[in-house]
Amino acid sequence: MAKGFLNILLHAHLPYVRHPEHSHFFEENWLFEAITECYIPLLTMLDRLQTDNIRYRLTLSLSPTLISMLQDELLQSRYLAHLNKLIELSSKEIQRTQQQPEYRHLAEWYHQFFEQTLTRYSQLYQGDLLTAFKKHHIQGRLELITCAATHGFLPLLNINDAAIRTQINVGVQTFTDVFGFTPTGFWLPECGYYPGLEHFLNEAGIRYFFADTHSITHASALVKNSIYAPISCPNGVAVFARDPDSSQQVWSAHEGYPGDFDYREYYSDIGFELESDYLAPYLLEDTTRINTGIKYHRITSKEGAKAIYCPTTALAKAQLHAADFIAKKHQQINQLHPLMPTPPMIVAPFDAELFGHWWFEGPHWLEHVLRLASATPELLSTQTGSDYLAYNFAINQATPSASTWGEDGYYSYWMNDSNDWIYPYLHQASTQLEQFVQQLAGLTVSPIQERALNQALRSLLLAQSSDWPFIIKSGTTTEYATKRLTDHLARFNYLYDSVRKGKIDERYLTALEIMDNIFPHINFRDYQTSPINHDINRGNAYQ
Amino acid sequence: MTLLTLGYNNQITYSSKELLEISEEISNRFAPAHYPLTPIKKVRLLTTPNTSFSTHLSTLKLNQDEILSISTTISASFKPTLTNKVSKLTLLPLDPFHAYAYWQLTRSLSQRIDKNKALILRVYWQENEQISIDDTKFWFDIEINPLLSMHKIQLPIDGTGYSARLGQHLTPSFFTAFVESKHIYVPHDKTKPIIIQRTATRKTYTPTVYDPVQTHTIILDNHPALHLNDFTSALNQDSDDKKTFFNHLAPSQRFFEHFTHLLKKHHTIPAFIPTHTTLDSQQSGYIKTKTESGQGR
């Protein structure tokens, strides 16, 4: 057994953005950019590690909204259109930069990158990235876990049990329907925990989850091994806490690896640098400048002109940073090992979209971290939460402290002066549905009433996404986030009102089912405070 | 049809389609850990995105314009509104020292409110749910603009429980509560351990008069590896003896200390009273307090 364990988790999540009511929709690019820059590069990396027979363990959390979007035929076809436009633009760039050899070389590099991405997506993976990830799970290298249904921020939805139970159960069910097995671990949206949440996780069959550092350092009872071993909640669900050192090395804007001067500059994009007329076919409605994904410069320095990006140098730097990361983990383990009765586990969770999208060289860094870790198995071994629990080490029992991985470590990023107005509406809708489901217990509903109520639940879940208050607070696409939130609440109100009044317009209902086509097997009757029992839901008809 | 809805009956005959469904379901649900790799679903890569849609639940087919029109109509006609069929006060924990309160009052209750008097949000220190709100000994009042329906509350101590009532002083000595919240619990401040037990030579405080009801103990061994990260900040706090001492106190004493501090700082009178308080009952000790400014909506 190794002296210590490294538990790296990537949490892959995007809000559900799919607009069939429009031919093109800018925010759908979030998914397309993530597929090109993050998910396919990560899969390519996993494929290489498999080819080289590298032994590693890595955890990947796939959110139910992301799972649903990656499966969606409309988004798949739109992604292909998006990728073909990038190939076209990079071809144009090769022509435009004929007289600038350094830029032309990079334009060719991008052209090849997009061509290879297209080949992998359409031919190797046949548009099915989920099966590609599942392959690595089956082969025993990747552990797939999931998250709450629409990434609802659970601590602030906790005014009734139905909201929490449904977010967790629908998330687990979506994952199980797609992958064919139940996840063992769970990523709490925004790492947001409150005492008591573990009861719902246990009910859903979850054995462990992740939380922030202070969830363990400020737990309800004595914690002997600090954050370097999980603790067990009183009901037996284990919690692994984030190692702040590992986060700092990767996340920190100032000290973290991604800020290195050799790495690609995310904010230097030709979409904002070249003439509008030239770029028009690739801009938003031919006029509004957007990121294209073609970026020619490296970070260079905080001020002054940006130097040209050199992929070879950047990848070499990523390898250097991987070696530094592993050396620091060795050091940490050597310090901790003599003090602990069990091998210490260093938990390093990250947003998956950091790797490739924000930090272009991130997948390369991760690949070398896993390669280097596998080279010293007696000292450090990459392990997942399930692996650790399988050792059956004695675990301290305590209730973790409320926490998130957001600013200040608590809930203020998701509830503050900019976005506090949303909660009375979310809570009201949640209470209305919960009470209505209670009233319907023992009554049968007609097929169209059932469709309307299931759709009302989809609308409510989509409104509950943590992404909307997050975006409103961060001040990026606030108009879109506000519209999405209010639209979903309006759709909920319409459906609730329609069922109550017995006047359901099937055209309207169908339109809503087409637009918000997530969670096909959802059952409105599951939105209840007590654990689910379908036997009581049959009887007289609801009028 | 699913396996779960099937009862055992050897007289049942199946079509080939049904058998395929059962076969797939068994494979899906009961395959061993290392089952054969099969695609999750057959992906049909479309080169041109659809512009007209239907669902498997409906025979209706709608085009983009129709869907957009319905979406726009619903958004315009069913904008979120808050109903006031039931009066309620909701308290949400935010961080160790803050909570949010929002409230809705029924029309009839709103009519009872004296528009010339401030609304009062009375926040009770209620260490746990087992303690009745009427048995709590500490509370403080916040004046609320009657036009508002939400307020961010600054809390005096971390790692304990609170509840609240919203009401008015309909006469100078009567606090009439209109609505009461559920109990909430705010976490401990992550920047400071409650108690530090060490084998090092540094001076430590031991609670004597007040038992540390909340025993959030962190053991620090004399090894640098366990002093990493958050522990470092904990050690640094020893320079502030007063602060460390404060953290050793039981919540009730910390509450008391906090208000004594407020009293000295703001020259105002603290609003804790060690008396029994009840809903709609006369309060002999109502004392107006200074509240945080600019926090409410």
**Predicted confidence (pLDDT) per residue in B151-205, tens digit:** 999 999 999 999 999 999 887 778 889 999 999 999 998 887 544 333 333 333 2
CB neighbour burial string for A47-58, b if at least 16 within 10 angstroms, e if fewer: bebeeeebebbb
What dihedral do alpha carbons A217, A221, A225, A228 form, nearest 10°? -50
What is the model's pLDDT at position A539? Answer: 63
How many other β-carbons are positioned within 10 Å of the β-carbon of residue B206? Answer: 8
Partners of B96 in the beta sheet? none
Distance CA A292, CA A282 (A): 7
* B5 close contact with A: CB closer than 8 A: no
ipTM of the complex: 0.91
Higher pLDDT, A461 or B239: A461
Mean of pLDDT over chain A? 95
Judge residue A464's burial from the number of C-beta atoms within 10 Å of its C-beta, 0-12 exposed, 13-18 middle, 19 or more buried. buried
What is the model's pLDDT at position B41? Answer: 52
Where do we find the tokens 């798949």?
A76
Residue in chain B closest to A23 (alpha carbons) equals: B51
Tokens describing residue A64: 């139910």
What is the model's pLDDT at position B217? Answer: 27
Least confident of A14-18, A269-273, A454-458, B26-30: B26-30
- Res. B274 pLDDT band, cuts 50 70 90: very low
Residue in chain B closest to A334 (alpha carbons) equals: B225
Tokens describing residue A12: 């892959």
* A222 close contact with B: CB closer than 8 A: yes
How many other β-carbons are positioned within 10 Å of the β-carbon of residue A262? Answer: 21
- Res. A226 pLDDT band, cuts 50 70 90: confident
- Res. B294 pLDDT band, cuts 50 70 90: very low
What is the model's pLDDT at position A225? Answer: 79
Sheet holding B150-154, edge to edge: B88-95, B98-104, B150-154
Contact A432, A496 (CB under 8 A): yes
Where do we find the tokens 């309060």?
B283
What is the model's pLDDT at position B54? Answer: 83
What is the model's pLDDT at position B221? Answer: 30
Distance CA A56, CA A375 (A): 10
Higher pLDDT, B275 or A19: A19
Least confident of A122-126, A145-149, B127-131: B127-131
Distance from CA of A135 to the nearest CA of B (A): 7
What is the model's pLDDT at position B169? Answer: 86
Partners of B217 in the beta sheet? B195
What is the model's pLDDT at position A464? Answer: 98
The CATH fold assigned to A420-541 is immunoglobulin/albumin-binding domain-like (1.20.1430)
* A407 close contact with B: CB closer than 8 A: no
Beta strands of A82-174 (E only): which ranges? 142-147
What is the model's pLDDT at position A286? Answer: 80
* B150 close contact with A: CB closer than 8 A: yes
Distance CA A198, CA A188 (A): 10
CB contact under 8 A, A339 and B78: no
Distance from CA of B21 to the nearest CA of A (A): 14
* B284 close contact with A: CB closer than 8 A: no
Query: For residue range B47-83, what is the model confidence (pLDDT) as tens digits?
Result: 667 778 888 888 899 999 999 999 999 999 999 999 8
CB contact under 8 A, B188 and A126: no
CB contact under 8 A, A214 and B39: no
Query: For residue range A234-252, what is the model confidence (pLDDT) as tens digits?
Result: 999 999 999 999 998 998 8
* A179 close contact with B: CB closer than 8 A: yes
CB contact under 8 A, B226 and A403: no
Query: For residue range A373-418, what is the model confidence (pLDDT) as tens digits?
Result: 999 999 999 999 999 999 999 999 999 999 999 988 999 999 999 9
Distance from CA of A401 to the nearest CA of B (A): 6
Beta strands of A219-364 (E only): which ranges? 231-232, 238-241, 345-351
Task: Reduce the DSSP state of residue A109 to 3 states and report it.
Answer: helix
Distance CA A482, CA A299 (A): 33
Q: How much is the average pLDDT of A9-13?
A: 98
Mutate to test the interface with B, among A387, A410, A412 (most CBs of B within 10 A): A410
- Res. B237 pLDDT band, cuts 50 70 90: very low
A370: left (phi over 0), alpha (psi -120 to 50) or beta: alpha
* B54 close contact with A: CB closer than 8 A: yes
Partners of B52 in the beta sheet? B63
Select the residue of B44, B82, B95 nearest A410 (Cβ to Cβ): B95
CB contact under 8 A, A21 and B64: yes
What is the model's pLDDT at position B24? Answer: 56
* B227 close contact with A: CB closer than 8 A: no
What is the model's pLDDT at position A528? Answer: 87
* A480 close contact with B: CB closer than 8 A: no
Partners of A284 in the beta sheet? A288
- Res. B33 pLDDT band, cuts 50 70 90: very low
What is the model's pLDDT at position B23? Answer: 58
Percent of chain A past pLDDT 90, that is, above it, reads 91
Give start-end residues of each CATH 1.20.1430.10 domain in chain A.
Answer: 420-541
* B4 close contact with A: CB closer than 8 A: no
CB contact under 8 A, A336 and B70: no
Question: Which residues make Cβ contacts (< 8 Å) with residue A242, sequence separation at least 6?
Answer: A191, A210, A211, A212, A213, A227, A347, A348, A349, A405
Q: Give the count of alpha carbons within 13 A of A450, CB side only.
A: 16
* B80 close contact with A: CB closer than 8 A: yes
pLDDT at B281 over 50: no
Least confident of A386-395, A460-469, B276-285: B276-285
- Res. B245 pLDDT band, cuts 50 70 90: very low
Tokens describing residue A474: 């961060």
Measured between beta carbons, the chain B residues lying within 8 angstroms of A473 are none
* A218 close contact with B: CB closer than 8 A: yes
- Res. B226 pLDDT band, cuts 50 70 90: very low
What is the model's pLDDT at position B212? Answer: 28
Residue in chain A closest to B34 (alpha carbons) equals: A138
Contact A364, A23 (CB under 8 A): no
CATH code of domain A4-408: 3.20.110.10
Select the residue of B45, B149, B225 nearest A335 (Cβ to Cβ): B225
Measured between beta carbons, the chain B residues lying within 8 angstroms of A512 are 70, 74
Percent of chain A past pLDDT 70, that is, above it, reads 98
pLDDT at B126 over 60: yes
Q: What is the DSSP letter of A39?
A: I
Select the residue of B82, B93, B228 nearest A245 (Cβ to Cβ): B228
Q: How much is the average pLDDT of A477-484?
A: 96
How many other β-carbons are positioned within 10 Å of the β-carbon of residue A479? Answer: 10
Q: Position A227: which residue type?
A: I
Judge residue B22's burial from the number of C-beta atoms within 10 Å of its C-beta, 0-12 exposed, 13-18 middle, 19 or more buried. middle
Mean of pLDDT over chain B? 64
* A195 close contact with B: CB closer than 8 A: yes
Give start-end residues of each CATH 3.20.110.10 domain in chain A.
Answer: 4-408
Q: How much is the average pLDDT of A61-72?
A: 98
Distance CA A201, CA A532 (A): 14
pLDDT at B295 over 90: no
What is the model's pLDDT at position A215? Answer: 94
pLDDT at B280 over 80: no
What is the model's pLDDT at position B28? Answer: 52
Distance from CA of A433 to the nearest CA of B (A): 14
Mutate to test the interface with B, among A32, A75, A154, A226 (most CBs of B within 10 A): A226
What is the model's pLDDT at position B112? Answer: 84
Query: For residue range A312-367, what is the model confidence (pLDDT) as tens digits?
Result: 999 999 999 999 999 999 999 999 999 999 999 999 999 999 999 999 999 999 99
Cα A61 → chain centroid = 7
Where do we find the tokens 């039931």?
B86
Least confident of A109-113, A459-463, B148-152: B148-152
Mutate to test the interface with A, among B24, B50, B66, B67 (most CBs of A within 10 A): B67
Measured between beta carbons, the chain B residues lying within 8 angstroms of A223 are 218
Distance CA B169, CA B110 (A): 15
Q: What is the DSSP letter of A228?
A: S
Distance from CA of B188 to the nearest CA of A (A): 7
Contact A245, A276 (CB under 8 A): no
Select the residue of B46, B57, B82 nearest A77 (Cβ to Cβ): B46
DSSP string, chain B: --GGGPPP-TT----HHHHHHHHHHHHHHH--TTPPP--SS-----SS--SEE--TT-S--EEHHHHHHHHHHHHHHS------SS-EEEEEEEETTEEEEEEE--HHHHHHS-TTS-EEEEEEE-SSTTS-GGG---EEEEEE-TT--EEEEE-S-SSSEEEEEEEEEEETTEEEEEEEPPPEEPPPPTTS-SEEEESSSS------SS--SS--EEEE-S-GGGG-THHHHHHHGGG-HHHHHHHHS-HHHHHHHHHHHHHHHH--------S---TT-B-TT-------SS---
CB contact under 8 A, B45 and A335: no
Contact A65, A14 (CB under 8 A): yes
- Res. B257 pLDDT band, cuts 50 70 90: low
CB contact under 8 A, B190 and A214: yes
Q: How much is the average pLDDT of B35-53?
A: 60
Cα maximum dimension of chain B: 88
